[in-house]
Structure 1
Amino acid sequence: MGSLSNDSKTENGTILGNIKDVAVIGAGISGVVSAAHLLRAGFNVTVFERTGVVGGVWDYEPQPDRAPPFPNVRPPSPNWSEVEKEGLSSDEVELIHAPPNPCYAGLKNNIPTPVMRSSLLRWPEGSEDFVDQKVVNTYINDIARIHKVNDHVQFHTRVENVSKPEGDSKWTVKTSTFTRTDSGHTLTKKTWKFDAVVVASGHYHTPFVPDIPGLATWKQHFPDRIIHSKQYRTPAPFANQTVLIIGAGVSAVDIANETAALGAKIIQSRRVSKYDVLGPRLPKDVVRVPLVSKFIIDEDSEDAKTQPLKPGHAIPGKAILEDGQVIEGIDRVVIATGYITTYPFLGDLEQPLVPWQDADDKVLITSDGYITHNLHKDVFYIPDPSLAFIGVSHYVSTFSLFDFQAQVAAKVFAGHAKLPPQSVMKQEHKERKARFQPDDKFHSMFAVEDAYVEEVLDWVNGDAAKAGQEPLPGLDEEWHAGYKVFKERLKSSRGP
């Protein structure tokens, strides 16, 4: 990875300069607001989106993604050539080239709309605090349309490699574009050059599947009964069944509520942590239990030899919990354990076999599949800040914070805000890691993002004032008032 040559380095920090052409990877909310703010600042912007639409995880399509490997616990190595396998139909190639997002039909925002909004567009007058995915998707598409982002998007185009060779002043971006034709399809490879790259591809692509003994065997024997939440679309297949949900995040709670409304009996297995704040939103009759330690198949059962299981027949086996409890009569299992953070196009900057503790000062992703290392303020890649990430921060107001981070990136790329010296950024990152506890979420801003915003504003606006530039307004009083209420709600809901 080369170092940045189109900048001005001083003892007091680094000012990026001569950035004109910027690539944005992803056209979800992070990519759309990044592109919009960069366009407003006068940059030439190209957005790469592997699907055919704007919206990211908020775009619903009935077709689910393929099942992930069981288990799936670390960032996988990319297999870009899989689409070239002989015998694949155009539909199969498109599914591999642009895997469907995890959006389910009943998805709603879990952050109130007054707190979850872009500075680029207000929600329609009278919008409720919690709205369905169609409303959210329309909101994102409206931002893209109003701010002319769509004119700059390369649709059906996936990014396969981003690199900056030693001594090069520009980033090389290699892409593959899927196009349907009268006779089938084509895949077109292209190489681009950019002064800067914004990674806004999101978290929700590669499912994390825990390595629980026996789970892979259950999946192998009863593939349609064991799914990751990314494959969930509607509650109909779960009606009046006993459903074991593993996980305690938003999707686990949503799936529990949707399926319980159709008569499903819900058993939720989860690890107790300070982030388990959604318990009050679960159905009233849900049974909450410790984590599953083992899945066992009853090999002597006739059902164990039947493929697929007959309707109305439970999975022939049992789940053993960490406290020794035994659960039987399970019809379906939903693995709602989240996702692996991975940027497969970043080559050697992703090291899936290296423990997070052993990350050097260049690597971005390690075996934990969660921490994005070596970022300043969760945005700028410390060795070369012309590579930026929008949307890495976790447990945040999403749209609002990502919009703010996009504005900061635009200011820095324009040279209106100066980054600290690399040594200072490295030391700050080192100290942050030293405070990190294994059970914590490294990028979590759980109930503290307002402090983060103020800290970044002090830095950016201090430099902007010295340069005679307009200051960033930050998040308005309406957001701060709403966020204060939201924080109190989070604290009051935290429980066992």
Structure 2
Amino acid sequence: MTRTPPPVRRVAIIGAGACGLVAAKYLLAEECFDKIDLFEQRSCVGGVWNLNPAEDKDQATIPVPAEDPNVPLEEPFWHTGTSKSSGKEATFLSPLYEGLETNIPHGLMRFSDLPFPDRTQLFPKFKTVLEYLEKYSLDVKHLIQFQVQVLDITPADTNLGTWTVTRKDLVSGELQTDVYDAVVIANGHYNVPHVPSVPGMTAWKKAYPQGILHSKQYLNSAPYKNKKVVVVGNSASGLDIGSQISKVCQQPLISSIRSESYFLSSAPSDRKEYPPIAEFMSPETHNRAIRFSNGEIEEDVDVVLFCTGYLYSFPFLSGLDLPVITDGGRTLHVYQHLFYIEQPTLVFPGLHQKVIPFIQAENQCAAFARVWSGRLNLPSKKEMYEWENSNIEARGPGKAFHALAYPLDADYLNQMYDWVASAKPRPGLPNDGHGKWGPRWSEKERWIRSKFTLIKQAYAALGDKRGSCLTLEELGFDYEATKKEQEKN
């Protein structure tokens, strides 16, 4: 049994980062929606790819511990007379930091309809990505209302699947409320930091206010010069930030980890590894000391930097019969990591971890755009919950639920593409009535994805010369040559 939602004519999109921009493009491409409003609380597109000035990072406060996803809406930092505007401009804290490069080669990272510029280094710098997103946004920019913060989204009519959306113009303070037939939640999942609770950390933080920080507060390595630093976590940010700090801190950099890194095949050589922190020892009896779970103690620690990720959080969603978050480890009651099962006129593109996000967003947005335009049907509520439950059984009910490490990400991408391809064609749309397509991976893309760790290692080994590396072939990863050699043998 399939499930056909009520007709959708008015759509609200929350956030003009990559997912929000993709959503706007695929909704426009259906050529059947009367109103598409995209609300962005910043003054520009790009979401987390916008770098905050140093004063924002310095002013940012993050509670210790930080384990509750049910936090208030973010408050803006205000700036005047910037290069983008001569007026009042709202900024919000981004996890971006100086020197950041992507973890994804640009050939796989790119949207299906826009290549990165010629001469882009293999793993692009964040400024290149931001410029790329600005270019990508040009044909949907007329839909965006900047410096508008969504305050509340609540069901309007559950039979019709409509939503009441209340937002605030951050400059004028004016409030406005409208009813939409469907809502795209594209606010991202790098907003609410996660700092796990460790015995003694509250007293430690009180005694040493700058002694416990989260990676969202990190801008560059300068404040860590000659200091004894512990980096907690060895995912992407922990490895990259740790690599920056290790060049200037008191040697060796100390790394506290729970498990081997998804991004490395062996332990990095620039740090001393410990297991998780078991206790922040009392400032009354010890000098800035922490004890690890193996019993070893490090004293005179200047900074413990938690690179421990973020919680899923939707502070503007209220009135749902079944909430979409509890502890913030994942989003609940979602089909295909996308549709809110109780009311599929609410979608959450971009929930995934350990994937190629831009292209995953394309196939997700292609799917819900076709569902809402009436060209693609959803399964029954029972079947959608069966899908969610089977995925919980496979990967657990926590944060691993949305983590699709290879080959799961490649399988999901192609499965979504094939589902989208089954949509009914409509005369007048491009591609013989099928509309705008997302990407489908061939054997080549899967081969490249399977080599990510080795590719990243070879790229990092170039050191300061890596900026001149533009292609995988320059690193020795030539799919065509490898395939010919395999066929020969």
What TM-score results when the alignment is normalised by the length of structure 2? 0.83
Aligned equivalent of 1:54, options 20, 32, 45: 45
Cα distance, 1:53 vs structure 2: 1.1
For residues 199-238 of structure 1, the aligned pairs below 5 Å read 199-238=185-224
Unaligned runs of 5+ in 1: 1-11, 84-88, 180-185, 302-315, 350-360
Q: Which residue in 2 is equivalent to 1:248?
A: 234
Cα distance, 1:370 vs structure 2: 1.8
Q: Which residue in 2 is equivalent to 1:414?
A: 373
Cα distance in 2 between the residues matched to 1:481 and 1:25 = 34
Is residue 2:336 matched to residue 1:377? yes
Aligned equivalent of 2:294, options 315, 323, 329: 323
SS at match of 1:220: helix
Q: Which residue in 2 is equivalent to 1:136?
A: 129
Contact 1:114 1:482 in 2 (8 A): no
Contact 2:233 2:258 in 1 (8 A): yes
How has the CA–CA distance of structure 1 residues 480 and 35 changed in structure 2, closer, same or farther, with 3 Å as cutoff?
Answer: farther
Q: Which residue in 2 is equivalent to 1:341?
A: 312
Aligned equivalent of 2:262, options 272, 277, 281: 277
Is residue 2:412 matched to residue 1:452? yes
How has the CA–CA distance of structure 1 residues 66 and 493 changed in structure 2, closer, same or farther, with 3 Å as cutoff?
Answer: closer
Cα distance, 1:256 vs structure 2: 0.9
Structure 1 residue ranges, 4+ long, deviating more than 6 angstroms after superposition: 89-92, 94-97, 491-494
Cα distance in 2 between the residues matched to 1:206 and 1:429 = 24
RMSD of aligned alpha carbons: 2.9
Cα distance, 1:52 vs structure 2: 1.0
Cα distance, 1:438 vs structure 2: 6.0
Q: Which residue in 1 is equivalent to 2:148?
A: 157
Cα distance, 1:235 vs structure 2: 0.9
How has the CA–CA distance of structure 1 residues 344 and 440 changed in structure 2, closer, same or farther, with 3 Å as cutoff?
Answer: closer
Is residue 2:358 matched to residue 1:399? yes
Cα distance, 1:434 vs structure 2: 2.8
Q: Which residue in 2 is equivalent to 1:172?
A: 164
Q: Which residue in 1 is equivalent to 2:245?
A: 259
Q: Which residue in 2 is equivalent to 1:308?
A: none
How has the CA–CA distance of structure 1 residues 246 and 343 changed in structure 2, closer, same or farther, with 3 Å as cutoff?
Answer: same
Name whichever of 334-343 and 212-221 sits farther off: 212-221
Contact 2:156 2:179 in 1 (8 A): no
Aligned equivalent of 1:365, options 325, 338, 355: 325
Cα distance in 2 between the residues matched to 1:107 and 1:34 = 26
Cα distance, 1:419 vs structure 2: 0.8
* 1:285-344 C-alpha deviation (Å, 9 max, x unpaired): 31111000001134267xxxxxxxxxxxxxx32110011011112121111111010111
Q: Which residue in 1 is equivalent to 2:66?
A: 72
Contact 1:457 1:472 in 2 (8 A): no
* 1:157-193 C-alpha deviation (Å, 9 max, x unpaired): 11111111345632110111211xxxxxx42211022
How has the CA–CA distance of structure 1 residues 95 and 388 changed in structure 2, closer, same or farther, with 3 Å as cutoff?
Answer: farther
Contact 2:366 2:438 in 1 (8 A): no
Is residue 2:448 matched to residue 1:485? yes
Q: Which amino acid aligns with 1:213?
A: P
Q: Which amino acid aligns with 1:136?
A: V
How has the CA–CA distance of structure 1 residues 97 and 348 changed in structure 2, closer, same or farther, with 3 Å as cutoff?
Answer: farther
Cα distance, 1:280 vs structure 2: 5.5
SS at match of 2:36: strand
How has the CA–CA distance of structure 1 residues 255 and 492 changed in structure 2, closer, same or farther, with 3 Å as cutoff?
Answer: closer
Identity %: 29
For residues 180-199 of structure 1, the aligned pairs below 5 Å read 186-199=172-185
What TM-score results when the alignment is normalised by the length of structure 1? 0.81
SS at match of 1:463: coil
Is residue 2:285 matched to residue 1:296? no
Is residue 2:113 matched to residue 1:113? no
SS at match of 1:47: strand
Cα distance in 1 between the residues matched to 2:137 and 2:455 = 37
Contact 1:70 1:219 in 2 (8 A): yes
Is residue 2:96 matched to residue 1:103? yes
* 1:440-462 C-alpha deviation (Å, 9 max, x unpaired): 60011110122112222333322
Cα distance in 2 between the residues matched to 1:53 and 1:90 = 14
Contact 1:461 1:471 in 2 (8 A): no
Is residue 2:400 matched to residue 1:461? no
SS at match of 1:400: helix
Unaligned runs of 5+ in 2: 81-86, 458-489
Cα distance in 2 between the residues matched to 1:480 and 1:397 = 16
Q: Which amino acid aligns with 1:109?
A: T
Aligned equivalent of 2:439, options 457, 471, 475: 475
Contact 2:30 2:369 in 1 (8 A): yes
SS at match of 1:320: strand
Q: Which residue in 2 is equivalent to 1:268?
A: 255
Contact 2:231 2:242 in 1 (8 A): yes
